[in-house]
Chain A
Amino acid sequence: MGISFKNVDHYYPGVKRKEYTIALENINLDINEKNEFIAIVGKTGSGKSTLMQHMNALMLPTKGTVQIFDDIITPKKNKNPKLKSVRKRVGFVFQFPEYQLFEETVLKDIMFAPLNFGFTKEEAEAKAKEVAKLLGIEKILNKSPFNLSGGQMRKAAIAGILSYDPDILLLDEPTRGLDPKGAKDIMELFYNIHKQTGKTIILITHDMDIVYQYATRVVVLNESYINYDGNKEDLFKTNLYNENHLVKPNVLQLIDYLNEKLGYSIDYNTYTLEDLIEKLKEVSNNG
């Protein structure tokens, strides 16, 4: 098991004493160490970011326990294990990660985390160059991270996480604010990493097209509890998506329209426009 939540509640303290806001309620969730691509969705304020921060022990549960690989995180601060191994094994790409760039050069910035995790300078540099190549930013390694375009800064910041090779990647809205190509590149990158290495990826997003194209499992939060945990097809086949304030992916909206208008019966195992075109060809040939 990679990460396991058992009866987890999280309360935020309120303005007045004894007042608090419930951010997470009775969360039970098991995430495999390998081969999962999970999308966490739900409207603003539903608890998505809080849930994700528990996956890296950035927060302690108010009640319940979170097991992250071999370490068990409990509400009691002094009972908790040292968190370095958790942080090493679970990498967290925050929202707008480029705000956290700070070194003189992109190379130094990428090397910072591996050096902290005990890599030698040579190892850290080799690793930094390897991930820079993977991200297509090897030509800007000697530049200041503050002289880059928005998309390049995002990639440099992501390289800083990939550099220490975490087993699980947490991504909090990795495409937010990027232009359409930048967003597509970033998603393809994570998808390829997932396919090639089997790393589990957990993603928060509001973009249902991304969810439908890439995720193998969807966790829906609604008012601080998990309202759905399962495959993406069933989520959109029923009215569940609507009850949870989600919109249907573009490809499904178009399928609904064509099925209704032309009497087709194209199914929901159609994840992209390319998939849809293949199915339209079949319908056309058989009709």
Chain B
Amino acid sequence: MIEFKNVKFSYNTKDRAVKDVSFSVADHEWLSIIGHNGSGKSTIAKLLVGLIEPQAGEILYDGVKLEEKTINDIRHKVGIVFQNPDNQFVGYNVLYDIAFGLENKQVPRSEMLELIHKYTKLVDMEEYLSREPETLSGGQKQRVAIAGILAMNCDIVILDEATSMLDPEGTEEIIALIEELHTKYNKTIITITHDLNLALKSDHILVMKEGHLIKEGKPEDIFEERDILLSSNLDMPFSLKAIYEVSKTELNNNKELMDALWEYRSKM
């Protein structure tokens, strides 16, 4: 369980601050954080992995406070995938990129290869071990980053707009993989995203606005409140917006149509 308690953080600018935000994430839960550009979403991600420290409040992992003396242990549990696939590839090929993290964790060499094969297979990149980063697509690089996190045996995977620089095919690959990590491998997932269809798939959503947590709840509750979404520069996913807009018209009396729209929504 992760607890974010009354955390405050601000840069010197007005933007991207986090103002007294509290929430918790249960084990195996999938949390999405949504909000406008500069609302503080990515700052939360950086705080969660200890890249920056809270100026007030605290962050606890299973009751242990994230601080200087605990950060190394906690980092072994938490992996993060960033927005730009090129900023996180450190090895000269896929094999060495994943080995780099394992080396840091002092995994014995004898075990490394086995782990690398196992997890590159899971993300469907086993055949690319000797490939250099410039020969990979954005989606493939993000999959390598995820394989690295899994090889490190992290229980918690944070994805900070990990699909926003990918094309639709790359985005689809990563979303399918996130769903698999959540359902099949029981990872705790935190996705920070503008992709409302992705947020719709998660268990729990936080809505950020100007550094404040303005709403949290299940996707169906969040996406019902269009005013709150619009106030944070968001909107409903298309399938729900269709229901919402159609139901405001006389078509609301057309039961056959409304049922079909709800059915369409449930397939998304």
Contacts and interface: CB of A to CB of B under 8 A. Distances in A.
B260 A182 contact: no
A176 B170 CA distance: 15
From B38, B137, B138, B249, name the one whose CB has the most chain A CB atoms within 10 angstroms.
B38
Contacts of B92: none
Interface stretch (A56-64, A126-134, A250-258): A250-258
B118 interface: no
A254 B268 CA distance: 11
Interface stretch (A70-78, A156-164, A193-201, A273-281): A273-281
B100 interface: no
B169 interface: yes
Contacts of A148: 15
A180 B13 contact: no
Contact of B238 (A43, A45, A245, A273): A273
Given A176-B164, A182-B36, A257-B260, A281 B196 contact: no
A281 B168 contact: no
B257 A280 contact: yes
A179 interface: yes
A247 interface: yes
Given A151-B37, A180-B233, A44 B137 contact: yes
B170 to A, nearest CB: 7
A262 B255 CA distance: 12
A179 B233 contact: yes
B194 A180 contact: yes
A251 B241 CA distance: 11
A89 interface: no
Contacts of A257: 260, 264
A180 B36 CA distance: 8
A238 interface: no
B165 interface: yes
Contacts of A254: 238-239, 242, 264
B254 interface: yes
Contacts of A286: none
Interface in B24-70: 35-38
Interface string B159-189: 0010011111110000000000000000000
Contacts of B233: 151, 179-182
B234 interface: yes
B111 interface: no
A254 B265 CA distance: 10
Nearest to B35: A179
B245 interface: yes
Contacts of B83: 177
Contacts of A120: none
Contact of A179 (B36, B138, B165, B167): B36
Interface residues of B, number: 40
B235 interface: yes
A45 B137 contact: yes
A239 interface: no
Contacts of B260: 257-258, 261-262
B167 A181 contact: no
Nearest to A245: B169
A219 B36 CA distance: 32
A273 B138 contact: no
B127 interface: no
Contacts of B35: 179
Nearest to A276: B242
Contacts of A273: 238, 241-242, 245
A284 interface: yes
Contacts of B241: 273
Contacts of A258: 257, 260, 264
Interface string B242-259: 100110011100101100
B249 to A, nearest CB: 6
Contacts of B263: 261
A224 B165 CA distance: 21
A254 B257 CA distance: 12
A254 B232 CA distance: 26
A251 B239 CA distance: 9
Interface of A: 43-45, 147-151, 176-182, 206, 209, 245-247, 250-251, 254, 257-258, 261-262, 273-274, 276-277, 280-281, 284
Given A258-B257, A284-B250, 10 more contacts: A148-B15, A150-B38, A179-B194, A182-B233, A206-B167, A261-B260, A273-B245, A280-B251, A280-B257, A284-B257
Interface of B: 13-15, 35-38, 83, 137-138, 161, 164-170, 194, 196, 230, 232-235, 238-239, 241-242, 245-246, 249-251, 254, 256-257, 260, 263-264
10 A-B pairs with least C-beta separation = A150-B37, A181-B233, A149-B38, A250-B238, A179-B233, A44-B167, A179-B36, A180-B235, A179-B37, A261-B260
